[in-house]
Amino acid sequence: MATGTRIEPTIQIQSSLAELARATGCAGKPKKKLVRRASPDRSQVVRHGFQVAFLLLNIWIGGEFYLWVRDYEAGVAPHFSRPAGVDGWLPISGLMNLKYWALTGRVPSVHPAALFLLLAFLGIAFLLRKAFCSWLCPVGTLSESLWRLGRKVLRRNIEFPRWLDLPLRGLKYLLLGFFVWAVAAMPAAEIRGFMHTPFGLIADVKLLDFFRTIGETGLIVIGVLVVGSLFVKNLWCRYLCPYGGLLGIVSFFSPAAIRRDPERCIDCAKCAKACPSRISVDRVLAVHSVECTACMECVAVCPAEGALGISLAQLPGARRRSRYLPAWAVALAVAMLLFGIVGYAKLSGHWKTDVPSAIYQQIVPNANQATHPMP
């Protein structure tokens, strides 16, 4: 019969497909049903808002500081007071002050804001992984803008192969190790002495002068980093930033992590593809990588309701469904830690460097003579 001759080949094809599925290990893996998200993700709008606000704040601080320096150089009374926030650009001073504070219990009088800002950023790293890098750091913001621009223009970014990526990622820890080793070798009295040398007092002015009088080598290095950042995602942050390395180590002990619910996940791998840190988010239940910056890009692209989110701790069973933190809660936690610690420092009178204007009058115009005291 005509019907019989048409059905037979179909049965054969089906059984061959079943055999192929068994042979490739795909048998018995039912396709999961996608339950679409009820509302669109807003995490990136909130995060980018934070990045822009913090970048503008840094431009404001930098501008005010520049005018403060210029007034001293011109020999006139400064129109502004020194913005203490500029200490945030002195991570080594922050590290030294942290050690001094830990050893003596006293808040240092020179660049104390470097200590409080470092504490705030370490606190953020402990609570919310490297959120400082993707929510606040102006260098991180510029890095991100560059690779996004590069991807737009060139249609793709370059990814180094794993065998090269891994050792390159180790460079930032080497740099961090060098700074930690240098600070570890200094007793408290030596740190205090260093901070009160002309170089220590105006380490911020020296940093400004580095950029104002940058030489050919410095320009080439910055140029290579800028151009390279167009091609490679977060070139500086991923491979070279010792500050990010330190925050990454602290973040390893964080209870917060991006967590995936395997029952709701449909294994589309969009999260892994979107992750700027190249983390295989779709293959793990929780992201404990020291490279995770809590940027929530993976969460933003996930199409499945409740499949992916950031949470402070794993809750068992059905309670897993309500465990994720909304982006506004992450933003609030970052802001509270930062402004809480800065607010405490201000209210307790420890925020500003305790250096008389007469000292600055002497050393700021002669900053080129303030050389590093160490051999």
Site residues for ligand SF4 per CB under 6 A? 258, 260, 265-271, 275, 277, 279, 281-282, 287, 292-298, 302, 304, 307-308
Question: Can you tell me the distance from the alpha carbon of 308 to that of 298, in angstroms, rounded to the nearest whole number?
Answer: 8
Q: How far is the CB of 354 from ligand SF4 (least distance, A)?
A: 40
For residue 74, give every residue at least 6 positions away whose Cβ sits within 8 Å of its Cβ, in sequence order, or none: none
d(CA 61, CA 72): 17
Nearer to ligand SF4, 33 or 152 (CB): 33
Q: Among positive and negative, which fits the CA dihedral 351, 355, 361, 362?
A: negative
Kindly state the smallest distance separating residue 349's Cβ from ligand SF4, in Å.
Answer: 38
- Considering the complex, state which of residue 327 and residue 345 has its C-beta at the smaller distance from ligand SF4: 327
What is the spatial distance between Cα 249 and Cα 252, in angstroms, rounded to a whole number? Answer: 5
Q: Which of 234, 278, 285 is nearest to 257 (CA)?
A: 285
b/e per residue, 75-88, with b = 16+ CB within 10 A? eeebeeebbbbbbb
Closest to ligand SF4 by CB, 201 vs 281, is 281
Whether 296 contacts 44, CB under 8 Å: yes
What values do phi and psi take at 352, rounded to 5?
-100, 145
Nearer to ligand SF4, 169 or 352 (CB): 169
- Residue 311 has φ and ψ, to the nearest 5°, of -145, 160
**Distance between CA atoms of residues 41 and 270, nearest Å:** 14
CB contact burial 272-282 (16+ within 10 A = b; e otherwise) = bebbbbbbebb
Q: How far is the CB of 157 from ligand SF4 (least distance, A)?
A: 14
Q: Are 131 and 124 in contact (CB under 8 A)?
A: yes
**Identity of the residue, 97 or 141, whose beta carbon is nearer to ligand SF4 in the bound complex:** 141
Say whether 369 sits in a helix, a strand or coil: helix
Alpha-carbon gap, residue 50 to 141, rounded angstroms: 10
Percent helix / strand / coil, the chain, rounded to 5: 65, 5, 30
In sequence order, the 6+-apart residues with CB closer than 8 A to the CB of 276 are 144, 147, 233, 234, 293, 295, 297
Q: How far is the CB of 223 from ligand SF4 (least distance, A)?
A: 27
The least CB distance from residue 133 to ligand SF4, in Å, is: 9
Give least dist CB 264 to ligand SF4, A: 7
User: By the 8 A CB rule, do 234 and 276 touch?
Assistant: yes
CB closer to ligand SF4 out of 118 and 295: 295
Locus of tokens 């059984």: 15
Give the nearest distance from C-beta 272 to ligand SF4 in angstroms: 7
Nearer Cβ to ligand SF4, position 146 or 301? 301
CB closer to ligand SF4 out of 118 and 292: 292
Q: How far is the CB of 79 from ligand SF4 (least distance, A)?
A: 42
Q: What are the tokens at 190?
A: 């030596």
> Of 254 and 353, which CB lies nearer to ligand SF4 in the complex structure?
254
> Measured from the CB of residue 367, what is the shortest distance to ligand SF4 in angstroms?
39
Nearest residue (CB) to ligand SF4, 204 versus 297: 297
Shortest reach from residue 271's CB to ligand SF4, in Å: 3
